[in-house]
Amino acid sequence: MSVPSYTRGPQTTPLLAMTIGAAFDRAVERFTDREALVVRHQGLRYTWAQLAEEVDGCARGLLALGLKAGERVGIWSPNCAQWCITQFASAKVGAVLVNINPAYRLTELEYTLKQSGCRWLICADSFKTSNYHAMLHDLLPELHRCAVGALESDRLPELQGVISLGDTPADGMLSWEGLLDLAEQVSAEQLRQCGEQLQFDDPVNIQYTSGTTGFPKGATLSHYNILNNGFMVGESLKLSEHDRLVIPVPLYHCFGMVMGNLGCVTHGTTMIYPSAAFDPLETLRAAAQEKATGMYGVPTMFIAMLDHPERQSLNLSHLRTGIMAGSTCPIEVMKRVIDDLHLKEMQIAYGMTETSPVSTQTGPDDDIEHRVTRVGRTQPHLESKVVDEQNRIVARGQIGELCTRGYSVMLGYWNNPQATAEAIDDAGWMHTGDLAIMDEEGYLRIIGRNKDMIIRGGENVYPREIEEFFFTHPAVADVQVIGVPDDVYGEEIVAWVRLHEGHQADADELREYCKGRIAHFKTPRHFKFVDDFPMTVSGKVQKFRMREISVEELGASKSDLL
């Protein structure tokens, strides 16, 4: 008789039944004077006791602003100390932190702030090509006229104010120091009482992940969801207070704030941020100079570090463990990560934002073959199954859609019960949209996606969102977006465009149109202008056929498409 593709992870280590604030306080109590956080690009270092002072100060400041449990506070910034402080402070007051991708531009920013109903936004001033203050003044021209905290915007009626992380907050914004100064209005006892009211099943975080059906959806995660996921990831890596983890991945994503920050807080491990956004040399330097024992990244980050000319001059001998996730790891890369970066116990994790994120993980003892061809086995306390199109479990070795059930499954998509019901079925299974095979030993292999998401350099890109954006261009009559394989980014974005009759637009103009409106990583690399698309007889666009054509044309002559 065939064995069904169903497994349940071990249940030896109990789940943490506490809020994130309580877990943070526990770390402070246990590891008081050990190093908690190192932010190299800001020159900042905190012990757990020092970090607690900042976190509690920020939490009391947020309470002084009138922020109440369940209300949303957005953060729009690259990695920095204040991101981490805000994460724990907002959790302590019971607010729901809304992660906003720092590469987002106006359209996306407005959508996420409005959809989540943010009361306050905490934002950086500028970074690389992003001038956050200027963008905010475009979105909120009334900001500089309104008193701090008394914003009245027609576009974002629920937003009360903006807190700036920059040195010079623009008019109408509260500065970070100003927020911390407000702490004196609220006592430590009031903060403690506020924490006691919170439940670990309360929502604590919204992360926007683009759906296949239009605009991004806000995966709403509870304390229990993400605290336990960070904890179980750290358990698998055998993290302890003697470990120091380099976190070069973005904090706005689960990889940074859950697997990174919460993995560390639950084990007393030092969090090390090498730079505001990923930089291969700074990440390598952080590992060497901080004597780091662990490091995270998506495969493209490890490739960039391995290829860096200065790598060999750095002493990386303290490194032992880490996680590679986000997309499949080529075997050569894994071999070099083990040999050249000393990451002998490097593990592969698989999951998605909606499952907090990790659902399966390889173990420290898995051989290299298992680490590159599989994504590990079901994580503790979780269940995995692989189902066919009728939602029936398939036999081991057969392909189907991977589903996850357990503590890590999100509460739902924020204010979107229909999308939630499409993703989580009545029995509590999250349907991942990923195609997988479960082998005899219970290891899972990811085969592809049955949704048409593109993963470009670790960033998820949803064709539908880009298509809808291009429809706002007056010359565009129809557009279809696909991904094609790319040596550097894993996948690259190609847009097939049909223009309105009598209208003109070329690739440069469309690229220019994207600037400042959508995130740079969503801007198609290639454009192809067509009169029509390959269609089925029933009138459905054949994206697979478009992909074949683009792959062939790009391979043959890139200039045809550029």
Work out whether 357 is an interface residue with ligand AMP (CB under 6 A). Answer: yes
Residues in the chain: 562
Do the Cβ atoms of 83 and 97 come closer than 8 Å? no
Do the Cβ atoms of 350 and 374 come closer than 8 Å? no
Nearest CA-CA partner of 462 in 420, 422, 491, 423: 491
Q: Which of 195, 326, 406, 463 binds ligand AMP (CB under 6 A)?
A: 326
Do the Cβ atoms of 112 and 121 come closer than 8 Å? no
Separation of alpha carbons 67 and 537, rounded Å: 55
Shortest distance in whole angstroms from residue 150 CB to ligand AMP: 36
Work out whether 352 is an interface residue with ligand AMP (CB under 6 A). Answer: yes
Work out whether 218 is an interface residue with ligand AMP (CB under 6 A). Answer: no
Residue with smaller CB distance to ligand AMP, 149 or 330: 330
Work out whether 353 is an interface residue with ligand AMP (CB under 6 A). Answer: yes
Nearest CA-CA partner of 148 in 171, 165, 176: 171
Residue with smaller CB distance to ligand AMP, 23 or 430: 430
Work out whether 446 is an interface residue with ligand AMP (CB under 6 A). Answer: yes
Work out whether 350 is an interface residue with ligand AMP (CB under 6 A). Answer: yes
Shortest distance in whole angstroms from residue 457 CB to ligand AMP: 12
Q: Which of 87, 362, 432, 550 binds ligand AMP (CB under 6 A)?
A: 432
Work out whether 325 is an interface residue with ligand AMP (CB under 6 A). Answer: yes
Separation of alpha carbons 324 and 508, rounded Å: 35
| Element (DSSP H or E) covering residue 182 | none
Work out whether 449 is an interface residue with ligand AMP (CB under 6 A). Answer: yes
Do the Cβ atoms of 59 and 92 come closer than 8 Å? yes
Q: How many CA atoms lie within 13 A of 292 on its CB side?
A: 33
Shortest distance in whole angstroms from residue 329 CB to ligand AMP: 7
Shortest distance in whole angstroms from residue 350 CB to ligand AMP: 4
Shortest distance in whole angstroms from residue 562 CB to ligand AMP: 28
Shortest distance in whole angstroms from residue 433 CB to ligand AMP: 6
Work out whether 375 is an interface residue with ligand AMP (CB under 6 A). Answer: yes
Work out whether 434 is an interface residue with ligand AMP (CB under 6 A). Answer: yes
Shortest distance in whole angstroms from residue 451 CB to ligand AMP: 8
Work out whether 348 is an interface residue with ligand AMP (CB under 6 A). Answer: yes
Residue with smaller CB distance to ligand AMP, 160 or 228: 228
Q: Which of 107, 328, 356, 408 binds ligand AMP (CB under 6 A)?
A: 328
Shortest distance in whole angstroms from residue 85 CB to ligand AMP: 24
Shortest distance in whole angstroms from residue 357 CB to ligand AMP: 5
Q: Across the beta sheet with 96-100, what order do the strands follow?
A: 174-175, 161-164, 118-123, 72-76, 96-100, 203-210, 216-222, 412-413
Separation of alpha carbons 529 and 470, rounded Å: 13
For β-strands 72-76 and 96-100, DSSP reports them as: parallel
Separation of alpha carbons 119 and 209, rounded Å: 21
Work out whether 163 is an interface residue with ligand AMP (CB under 6 A). Answer: no
Long-range contacts of 200-204, Cβ-Cβ distance < 8 Å, separation of 24 or more = 200/17, 200/18, 200/19, 200/224, 200/227, 202/19, 202/69, 202/70, 202/94, 203/70, 203/96, 203/411, 204/19, 204/20, 204/90, 204/91, 204/94, 204/96, 204/97
Q: Which of 130, 229, 283, 327 binds ligand AMP (CB under 6 A)?
A: 327
Helices and strands per DSSP (H, E), number in the chain: 18, 29
Contact code string over 457-496 relative to ligand AMP, x by CB under 6 A: ---x------------------------------------
Q: Where are the beta strands (DSSP E) in 298-414?
A: 321-325, 347-351, 358-361, 377-378, 383-387, 399-405, 412-413
Residue with smaller CB distance to ligand AMP, 59 or 325: 325
What residues make contact with ligand AMP under the rule CB under 6 A? Answer: 209, 325-328, 348, 350, 352-353, 357, 375, 432, 434, 446, 449, 460
